[in-house]
Chain A
Amino acid sequence: MLQVSIYRYNPEADGAPRMEDFQVDTGGKDLMVLDVLEMIKADQDTSVTYRRSCREGVCGSDGLNINGKNGLACITPLSEAVKNNKLTIRPLPGLPVIRDLVVDMSLFYAQYEKVQPYLQNNTPAPAIERLQTPEDRAKLDGLYECILCACCSTSCPSFWWNPDRFIGPAGLLQAYRFLADSRDSATDDRLAKLDDPFSVFRCHGIQNCVNVCPKGLNPTKAIGHIRTMLLNRAT
């Protein structure tokens, strides 16, 4: 029997959060963490609350803190997460809990919104698409794949302390995705908005973000590129 400990909190009814223990028979199979949650919800307690949708690492809705490490429950196998037959599941750290494992992502999305994550180009639109060379297109690899699961930003101490001012690894990865896009003409404007002491420069290179990204992306590297662009723009 697998020992599963789940963070439970209903702010309307409970005075304080608590951990609730469940026993799950996995039948010796190497299930995904999400499967275990589904089994608990189906067979033991229907009130256990979490987000999920695609169950294959595409939608980014089931980012959770699994045995102390952020990750997507649907693509984290038990063999990777479980230690001493124990599985502890908590919500993503640093964001307000709405219920059990569901967090309020408003702060996270507000930071994403700040980087204006859409193509800006004020030159007249051509009759066909704005074309890119294969080399220019390749610059977006490792950036566009982000699914905004928030695993990175909620593992970043700088984001915990200043979630309203530091854009955080996810937002900055997307900031660079548009800074690096040959079809975008708002580069200077974008950089000007990032020059304050908080937006980018609260990153101290701790690399927690790189460590947890379920898509294997590297926000720290993108942040380094942004810093270089800011430096080149200023000097």
Chain B
Amino acid sequence: MVTQVTSFSRSGLSDWLIQRVTSLILLSYFLCIAGTLVAGVDYASWHAMHQTTGMRIFTLLAVLSLAAHAWIGLWAVYTDYLTERMLGPWGNSLRRICQLGTVFLLIIYVLWVIQVIWR
């Protein structure tokens, strides 16, 4: 059975709002990065930029947004297609495996980014 226990906030409205807010954060982050790259960087200036507290917080915010956004989006995809209705009893196991794998991957991403920017 598909339940909402594994949804991000258990509220459709909150999930929906978080999805919108995180997409705005991600958009502004990628625009900022793209802008910097277009303006031209070398290793020293790139490194210096990511040493500032502001940029570190921005990057952290972006990766947390990415994790939340990806979870909400993939949760919807998994509960649409990887279900008992679609695949038979095997659907439930497959969905749980995918959900677990996704959570692992996203946690690793977040920790990895923290490690990289605070090095």
Contacts and interface: CB of A to CB of B under 8 A. Distances in A.
Classify the secondary structure of B's interface with A. helix
B2 to A, nearest CB: 7
Interface string B1-44: 01010010011111111000000000000000000000000000
A201 B15 contact: yes
B12 A161 contact: no
B81 interface: yes
A162 B12 contact: no
A52 interface: no
Interface size band for A: 10 to 19
B81 A196 contact: no
Nearest to B79: A162
A197 B11 contact: yes
Interface size band for B: 10 to 19
A168 to B, nearest CB: 14
A196 B16 CA distance: 11
B4 A196 contact: yes
Contacts of A196: 4, 10-12
B83 interface: yes
Contact of A195 (B12, B83, B86): B12
Contacts of A234: 13-14
A200 B81 contact: no
A230 B13 contact: yes
Classify the secondary structure of A's interface with B. loop
B17 A162 contact: no
Contacts of B47: none
B81 A197 contact: no
Contacts of B15: 197, 201
A197 B15 CA distance: 7
Given A196-B4, A197-B4, A197-B7, A161 B86 contact: yes
A198 B2 CA distance: 10
Interface in A158-216: 158, 161-162, 165, 194-202
Interface in A217-235: 227, 230-231, 234
B86 to A, nearest CB: 7
A72 B92 CA distance: 37
A200 B80 contact: no
A195 B11 contact: yes
A208 to B, nearest CB: 15
Contacts of B17: 231
A197 B12 contact: yes
A194 B13 CA distance: 9
28 contacts: A158-B80, A161-B80, A161-B81, A161-B83, A161-B85, A162-B2, A162-B79, A162-B80, A162-B83, A195-B11, A196-B4, A196-B10, A196-B11, A196-B12, A197-B4, A198-B4, A199-B12, A200-B12, A201-B15, A201-B16, A202-B76, A227-B16, A230-B12, A230-B13, A231-B13, A231-B17, A234-B13, A234-B14
Interface of A: 158, 161-162, 165, 194-202, 227, 230-231, 234
